[in-house]
Chains A and B, each alone.
Chain A
Amino acid sequence: MADPWVQAAQDWYNVTYSARPGFETLIVDGVSGWATMYALTRALQYELGISSLSDSFGAGTLAALTSFGTITASNPNTSAGPSNIVKIAQAGLYCKGYNADGGDLKGRWATATQLAVTSLRGDLGLGTTSSDLTPKLFKFLLTMDAARLLPGGDSVVRDGQRSMNARHQARRDYFFVPADGYFLRDTHRALLFALQYELGMADGVANGNFGPGTKSGLQTQANLSTGSSDTTKHFVRLFHLALRVNGYATTFTGTFTSTTATHTNSFQSFVGLPPTGTADLQTWASLLVSTGDPDRPGTGADCVTTLTAEKLATLRNAGYVYFGRYLTNVPDYSLDKCIKHGELERIFASGGRVFPLFQTGGASISHFTPRRGAEVGEEAANAAWGYGLPNNTIIYFSVDFDALPYQVTDAVIPYFQGIQQRLQRTGRTYRVGVYGPRDVCRQLLEAGLAVSSFVSDMSTGYAGNLGKPLPASWAFDQIRTLTVGSGTGAIEIDKNVVSGRYAGINQISPTIRTTADPRIPAVKLDAFEAEWFRACLEHEDSIVQPAVMVGNRPNVKSRVSTHDQYITELATTLGVPKALIMTPLIWEGMVINPGDAGADALVAAYYAAKELGQTPPPGSRSDSSTGVCQAKAETAIRANNWGVSQGIVTSRSYDAAVWQDMWDMWRLIKNDEESAILMGALTMMMEASGAGGASRSQLRQMTPSQVMAMCVGYNNSWFDGGTPAQESMVYGRNRMQLYYTIKRWHQSF
């Protein structure tokens, strides 16, 4: 609603300043907002003779205003004429809701103006005996901070805000905090300053950070217990305030009562500290910063490093029991952080437990779309199934940035809804956990989209952590990065405090068959077809494709049925899962379109001319993706030669530099479906040994990341050098879902 006093202030500003260089015209809407505050700040800077105008009321403005002096009845001298600086102060008072002079901007320190300042001072806790507008108070005036309790604000928090304002207003680095009852970033910082001042730190030493000096001071001066009371120092009051903002029903009083001890005890139990009921360093730390005391012991560790026998021994000997490990790598394999063959078994054998993590993005808001959420849910479920994680395992999905509440509502929640959609795809009931700042975890838990939280408390400056209590169902609290051990046993970890609400897993239920896959039973062909069709449809490049190429689905179904015996025998001979062979056969068959026929025609024209000894016609080409697995002749030649060199197949070698060999191979894979299937299988085997590094003996038990890397390589070979194109990485990630669909069905045959 428009306020006529604010409107008058905006009008005055426009008339006085908008035509001057460095000023812009203010929208006259009668609403106090940052635009008006910035405009008044620039006007003040102008009046103080500052040439470089800025929206920020920084150190320069404060210094200039300090030189000008406190605004009082005698400064500035307005007997000769009105002062614009006084008018700016009056405008600021109107914007804060104080009656500076009945709506006028007379530029004189009128009685009404003095009463308004006195009222403001009283609201901020500075007493009602003065009407002086000090530079710091002027600075406060030109903010959107409120001096009165706001709806939803906490009166006890407001008591603390007013008390700190009153007690520390004279300190150099202390600036007035709002008295609105909300515990946000500024009040949190003020609380740390207040604590440092109580500890006796001088100006310039006190800095609002919870550093070694503060810790040391708290350890020696601020141990509180029942009966402690404030005399010259206000430790008990500040402790009460800290408890209050962590959700405990304390009042802002100076005596540590038995009730305080009870609350302290509850808080300590909740955050995983020994429940002593007294205020010690660790309790202060946990109340004031999200990490708490980062040096306190923790029994959890999450890491991107493989837990080899040596590294695991290091951690177990250091008391770590719970290990956070990643289900997959990112598609480009830039960080090889996934769980390796035998790693889970090794951890379990040592008495350790595992809580699985999933993160292939999530460090910025752009990752959080419903579609990506669904994909992530499916990837995580397949990976968890691939590792044999049991029912009810909680997988922690990352929100690895300082998501603001509206971003959580608009993007993160829909993303987690997407995760929920597909997380149960494998038939195993996995549950959703969230890794992120406190407030993000809380919102997702309240929305019913996560059952457990792994709190990223090392990001102490995040708005989502600052001044926010731990979420009620926190399971792991990440507090410090450190290196443990030495030599080959040395490992860098993030240390986690463990609440015990979720203990992770200590066994797996192996699902991956290590023997040859069977044929598809005739009675299950249709059900199997429905599943692989869905796995293709959900990852189409264009939703138009299945609508136009309606013949692809029956064609592929027919090929699967016709060649199943051949594929089964081939898989047995090669020692690979049938999914490895069928993934390219099914997918590539589903995306054939007239463009492929066109490309093939250009190749045929090229070699027709070659055979006649003529120059190939313009536009013709020497190679195209062709046949039922849509492979290029050059790729097939490389796979064939690799197979020959490995002793896997006994074929002649081809030379891609010789056009006759290229033509032979191209015709072979275009016209002979079994040859095309064989070359597709060899290509997949070769690529599995690329970035994924899967040996032949591992091909039936590849990790999910090896499967993904293999599929990426089918589209853009790892042996071509460099990082595969982004579309190839997505191709690999999507085909991995098809691979596991085929794999799961063959487990059931």
Chain B
Amino acid sequence: MKPRSISVVVVGALGVLLGFFGAAFLNLAGLDLRQEGLGRGSAWEEGESEYLVVLGSGLLVLWLISVGGVFLLARSGRPDRKVHVLGTWVIVLSALLVTGLVVASVAIIPRLYDWQAY
């Protein structure tokens, strides 16, 4: 595999990892997408939820940058169809995975903050 292809895969994988943690922190922050809109469950610590939202959002921005990085890597330098195709696949996969994780973390995974006292 060519060095450029390896870079594309590594940056893409790193981006997915950042996206995974970004989505996870949004879940830990208690973000919850419901029919009535985006809500937030209570957290034990004042300010903790806000901090996690900032952290999660920051990681998702880094993920977006990584996607841009993959695009640039795949398109820069001498035109290479194989690298272009690989880059396209990495971007599509990364987008699907991270978008899916974000949706799952705020809309699908049950938020256990919804306690039932009785």
- Residues of A that sit less than 8 Å from B by CB: 330-332, 360-361, 366-367, 369, 371-372, 540-545, 547-548, 591, 593-596, 598-599, 602, 621, 624-625, 715, 726-727, 729-730, 733
B89 at interface by CB-CB < 8 Å = no
> In the complex, what distance in Å separates the CA atom of A534 from the CA atom of B113?
19
Q: Inter-chain contact count A-B, CB under 8 Å?
A: 89
Quick check: A595 and B27 within 8 Å, CB to CB?
Answer: no
**Chain A residues within 8 Å of B109, by CB:** 542-544
Given contacts A330-B118, A729-B117, contact A621 B46 (CB under 8 A): yes
- Bits for B36-75, please: 1 = Cβ < 8 Å to A, else 0: 0000001111111101101100000000000000000000
Nearest A residue (CB) for B49: A595
Quick check: A542 and B113 within 8 Å, CB to CB?
Answer: yes
22 intermolecular pairs with C-beta atoms under 8 Å apart: A361-B116, A361-B118, A541-B112, A541-B113, A542-B30, A543-B110, A544-B109, A591-B44, A593-B52, A594-B25, A595-B45, A595-B55, A598-B47, A598-B48, A621-B46, A624-B47, A625-B45, A726-B117, A727-B115, A729-B117, A730-B115, A733-B117
- Residues of B that sit less than 8 Å from A by CB: 21, 24-25, 27-30, 42-49, 51-52, 54-55, 105, 109-113, 115-118
Quick check: A331 and B117 within 8 Å, CB to CB?
Answer: yes
Given contacts A542-B111, A543-B110, contact A548 B28 (CB under 8 A): yes
Given contacts A367-B118, A547-B24, contact A540 B52 (CB under 8 A): no
> In the complex, what distance in Å separates the CA atom of A541 from the CA atom of B27?
10
Quick check: B44 and A715 within 8 Å, CB to CB?
Answer: yes
**Chain B residues within 8 Å of A540, by CB:** 112
**Chain A residues within 8 Å of B24, by CB:** 544, 547-548
> In the complex, what distance in Å separates the CA atom of A547 from the CA atom of B43?
18
**Chain B residues within 8 Å of A599, by CB:** 45-48, 51
Cross-chain contact of B28 among A595, A624, A727 (Cβ < 8 A):
A595
- Among B42, B43, B51, B118: residue with most chain A CB under 10 A: B118
**Chain B residues within 8 Å of A543, by CB:** 109-110, 112
Top-6 shortest CB links A-B: A598-B51, A361-B118, A595-B48, A730-B115, A544-B27, A548-B24
**Chain B residues within 8 Å of A366, by CB:** 116
**Chain A residues within 8 Å of B117, by CB:** 330-332, 361, 726, 729-730, 733
Known pairs A542-B30, A542-B109, A544-B24 / 13 extra A-B pairs, C-beta < 8 Å = A366-B116, A369-B116, A540-B112, A543-B109, A544-B105, A544-B109, A548-B24, A595-B47, A596-B45, A599-B45, A621-B47, A624-B47, A726-B117
In the assembled complex, the CB of A436 is this many whole angstroms from the nearest CB of chain B, namely 17
**Chain B residues within 8 Å of A367, by CB:** 116, 118
**Chain A residues within 8 Å of B46, by CB:** 599, 621
**Chain B residues within 8 Å of A369, by CB:** 116
Nearest A residue (CB) for B116: A372
In the assembled complex, the CB of B87 is this many whole angstroms from the nearest CB of chain A, namely 29
> In the complex, what distance in Å separates the CA atom of A722 from the CA atom of B27?
30
> In the complex, what distance in Å separates the CA atom of A369 from the CA atom of B110?
14
> In the complex, what distance in Å separates the CA atom of A366 from the CA atom of B48?
30
> In the complex, what distance in Å separates the CA atom of A545 from the CA atom of B29?
10
**Chain A residues within 8 Å of B112, by CB:** 540-543
